[in-house]
């Protein structure tokens, strides 16, 4: 299932950095309903101009009556970064149960989780069965715990409603949208320091938006009861230090690294289960990040040899 066509799909969190390119692509061949808070009116207009039907939905206090019926698939790419645990748990976990109950008859439900659910363990490639923990506390105090809670809600709902579900633990996304590596790029261009933990390099498995878009149908096909849980990541393990050095080479400016205890820990992942289930990601990090620079800063002439 390389592409969805003629389907009716709801995407939650439709204006997010991960969701926006997904929604754009899905809307080319499907009836797509994009649900979000839409605090940015322009984002709503931009989606509608691409043929997306929009629904104003706040998952902190969801009114599901506005959501369409007769849906084939639901893709949950929504997330709330509230600093209050009550708000984060309500929006990220409790509301997920309400939505899955509302859409218990769909063909499949994709819940996007995060590799930020893993307990820090240095440069060890995290496997799906590895211990979970409060990974992002230094920067996002409620994030990891509310994402772990959401996974439990998704698993329970899949069993309660016999709803085929896949939980995809997303690593560092990037591409032609604003994301962590693109923020690093702007820091390099502005001469600002990029914060990393002291000691060994901080390693991740970044995944390009091209792979995210291509793998959405494959993940939906992998949905099951009980729910399937997969790491969702790119084909390479690379450190923040290395990709920032590479971005600096591309733009001709040094990457300034600042060690601090308040940076995020390593979360590289083992993609063995993902590769066996949906096939490997294809975009390697150097090519993907070079494209990111070219897209966001076309005025910069990139060196041919880097």
Count of residues making up the chain: 306
Residue 290 has a pLDDT of 97
Give the tens place of pLDDT for each residue, 195-220.
999 999 999 999 999 999 999 999 99
- Give percent above pLDDT 70 in the chain: 99
**Is the four-CA dihedral 102, 104, 108, 110 of positive or negative sign?**
positive
Query: What does the alpha-carbon distance between residue 45 and residue 242 come to, in Å, rounded to a whole number?
Result: 38
DSSP state of 66: G
* pLDDT at 178 exceeding the cut of 90: no
Query: What does the alpha-carbon distance between residue 149 and residue 152 come to, in Å, rounded to a whole number?
Result: 5
DSSP β-ladder status, 108-114 and 207-208: unpaired
* pLDDT at 177 exceeding the cut of 70: yes
Give the tens place of pLDDT for each residue, 70-109.
999 999 999 999 999 999 999 999 999 999 999 999 999 9
Query: What does the alpha-carbon distance between residue 215 and residue 212 come to, in Å, rounded to a whole number?
Result: 5
Residue 1 has a pLDDT of 54
Q: Residue 140 to residues 71, 77, 145, 256, 262: CA-CA distances in angstroms?
A: 33, 18, 10, 23, 10
- According to the 3-state scheme, what is the secondary structure of 72-119? CEEEECCCCCCCCHHHHHHHHHHHHHHHHHHCCCCCEEEEEEEHHHEC
Residue 261 has a pLDDT of 93
Place of tokens 């754009």: 24
**Structure token pair of residue 145:** 């715990």
Residue 120 has a pLDDT of 96
The answer to whether residues 234 and 270 touch, using CB atoms and an 8 Å cutoff, is no
- According to the 3-state scheme, what is the secondary structure of 18-65? CHHHHHHHHCCCCEEEEEECCCCHHHHHHHHHCCCEEEECCCCCCCHH
- Among candidate residues 194, 190, 210, 212, the one with its CA nearest the CA of residue 202: 194
Residue 2 has a pLDDT of 66
Residue 305 has a pLDDT of 79
From the CB of residue 228, how many other CB atoms can be counted at a distance below 10 Å?
19
Residue 187 has a pLDDT of 98
Q: How far apart are the first and last CA of the chain?
A: 36
Q: Is the pTM of this model over 0.75?
A: yes
Domains defined along the chain, listed by start: 8-173+208-232 (3.40.50.720)
DSSP β-ladder status, 53-56 and 193-196: unpaired
Residue 155 has a pLDDT of 98
Give the tens place of pLDDT for each residue, 276-290.
999 999 999 999 999
Q: Is 180 exposed, middle or buried (0-12, 13-18, 19+ CB in 10 A)?
A: middle
Quote the radius of gyration of the chain (alpha carbons, Å): 19
Mean pLDDT of 20-46: 96
For the ranges 1-15, 62-76, 148-162, 215-229, the lowest mean pLDDT is seen at: 1-15
Q: Residue 166 to residues 74, 149, 221, 284: CA-CA distances in angstroms?
A: 11, 15, 9, 25
């Amino acid at each position: 299932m390389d592409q969805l066509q003629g389907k009716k799909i709801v995407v939650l969190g439709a204006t997010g950095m991960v969701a926006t390119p997904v929604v754009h692509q899905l809307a080319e061949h499907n009836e797509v309903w994009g649900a979000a808070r839409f605090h940015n009116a322009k984002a709503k207009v931009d989606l509608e101009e691409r043929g997306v039907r929009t629904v104003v939905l706040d998952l902190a206090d969801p009114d599901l009556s506005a959501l369409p019926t007769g849906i084939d698939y639901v893709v949950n790419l929504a997330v709330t970064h509230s600093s209050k645990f009550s708000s984060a748990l309500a929006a990220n976990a409790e509301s997920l149960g309400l939505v899955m109950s509302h859409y218990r008859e769909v063909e499949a439900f994709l819940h996007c989780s995060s590799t930020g659910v893993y307990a820090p363990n240095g440069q060890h490639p995290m496997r799906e069965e590895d211990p979970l923990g409060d990974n992002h506390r230094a920067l996002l105090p409620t994030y990891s715990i509310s994402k772990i809670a959401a996974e439990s809600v998704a698993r329970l709902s899949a069993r309660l409603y016999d709803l085929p579900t896949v939980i995809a633990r997303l690593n560092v996304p990037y591409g032609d949208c604003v994301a962590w590596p693109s923020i690093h790029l702007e820091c390099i261009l502005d001469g600002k320091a990029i914060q990393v933990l002291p000691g060994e390099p901080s390693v991740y498995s970044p995944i390009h938006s091209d792979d995210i878009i291509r793998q959405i149908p494959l993940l939906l096909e992998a949905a099951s009861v009980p729910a399937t849980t997969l790491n969702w990541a790119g084909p390479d393990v690379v450190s923040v230090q290395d990709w920032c050095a590479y971005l600096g080479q591309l733009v001709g400016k040094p990457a300034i690294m600042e060690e601090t205890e308040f940076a995020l820990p390593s979360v590289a992942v083992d993609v063995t289960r993902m590769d066996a289930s949906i096939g490997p990601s294809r975009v390697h990090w150097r090519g993907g990040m070079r494209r990111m620079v070219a897209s966001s800063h076309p005025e910069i002439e990139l060196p041919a040899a880097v």
